[in-house]
Structure 1
């Protein structure tokens, strides 16, 4: 089996409102620059990846809310 891509993983998370909230909290923690010893290019790249994921999940939340 091929490993799941990060985008496929996020799409799977996006189907479950609780999983979305948990992942968004995880991403928020991971993007907290106060946790970093230094803000090098690798860290900036990782934060950009997390921010893109956070935005994607934020956009899925309204669709998951019951009417």
Structure 2
């Protein structure tokens, strides 16, 4: 019977360790999403500004 309780204690410890790691990863993922979201938007705006600049720099044909 003590073998079962020892194994159960090991399983319980492993489950707590996994749950803590999952919580830490979820928190890190939320922080990353919060930081990357605005950066991705700023990057896209910079790309659009560059495309607009390139289009504006092209010569407009005169009729």
Which category describes the TM-score, using the shorter chain as reference length? Answer: 0.3 to 0.5
User: Which structure is larger by alpha-carbon Rg, 1 or 2?
Assistant: 2
How high is the TM-score relative to the length of structure 2?
0.40
TM-score normalized by the length of structure 1:
0.38
